[in-house]
């Protein structure tokens, strides 16, 4: 599948939400839920510091979808996100029966960036790809060019710690 101009618009919104999270003292991650016709239904950002440690945007949109959409609509929806889902969020996405995922940067990249900066991960869970957790979910990413913007946000977050 090719990345379209609309995909880029949603992905840029994810980066904006990630920036908003960073500026609010949370980790820089943002996600947008789009229906099969291209309408934005819901968006959120990381609120792990301001709400609770499980408040990742990807699980937030999965829970919103489970509560507000039919099974068919969920299957046709696309979740755009600034960083690849963690294992918790991949599982929530799959249990909610959501469709395709497009992410800007991968969990593997995040790990490499942290290593590059000499930062030790504070994550309490293993870093797994979406498909290691949810093999039936179709996935696209990373997005060359935009991933550098996410890297810059992650660098700002690491340097703040």
Binding site for Zn ion (CB under 5 A): 56, 86, 88-89
Residue 57 vs 97, nearer CB to Zn ion: 57
The DSSP code sequence of 127-158 is ---HHHH-TTS-EE---TTHHHHHHHHHHHHH
Residue 69 beta carbon to Zn ion: minimum distance, rounded to whole angstroms: 20
Residue 59 beta carbon to Zn ion: minimum distance, rounded to whole angstroms: 6
Residue 9 vs 127, nearer CB to Zn ion: 127
- 78-83/30-34 β-pairing: antiparallel
Residue 88 vs 152, nearer CB to Zn ion: 88
Residue 2 vs 125, nearer CB to Zn ion: 125
Residue 72 beta carbon to Zn ion: minimum distance, rounded to whole angstroms: 25
Residue 86 beta carbon to Zn ion: minimum distance, rounded to whole angstroms: 3
Contacts of 149 (CB under 8 A, 6+ apart): 15, 104
Residue 72 vs 132, nearer CB to Zn ion: 132
Distance CA 79, CA 109 (A): 19
Residue 37 beta carbon to Zn ion: minimum distance, rounded to whole angstroms: 27
What is the DSSP code (8-state) at residue 70?
-
Distance CA 147, CA 25 (A): 21
CB 150 within 8 A of CB 21: no
């Amino acid at each position: 599948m090719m990345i379209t101009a609309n995909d880029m618009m949603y992905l840029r919104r994810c980066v904006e939400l990630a920036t908003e999270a960073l500026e609010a003292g949370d980790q820089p991650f943002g996600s947008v839920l789009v229906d099969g016709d291209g309408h934005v239904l819901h968006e959120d950002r990381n609120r792990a510091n301001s709400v609770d440690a499980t408040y990742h945007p990807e699980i937030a949109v999965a829970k919103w979808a489970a509560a507000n959409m039919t099974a068919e609509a969920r299957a046709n929806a696309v979740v755009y996100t600034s960083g690849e889902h963690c294992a918790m969020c991949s599982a929530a996405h799959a249990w909610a029966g959501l469709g395709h995922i497009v992410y800007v940067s991968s969990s593997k990249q995040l790990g490499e960036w942290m290593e590059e900066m000499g930062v030790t991960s504070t994550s309490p869970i293993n870093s797994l790809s979406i498909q290691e957790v949810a093999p039936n979910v179709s996935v696209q990413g990373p997005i060359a060019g935009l991933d550098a913007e996410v890297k810059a946000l992650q660098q700002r977050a690491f340097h703040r710690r």
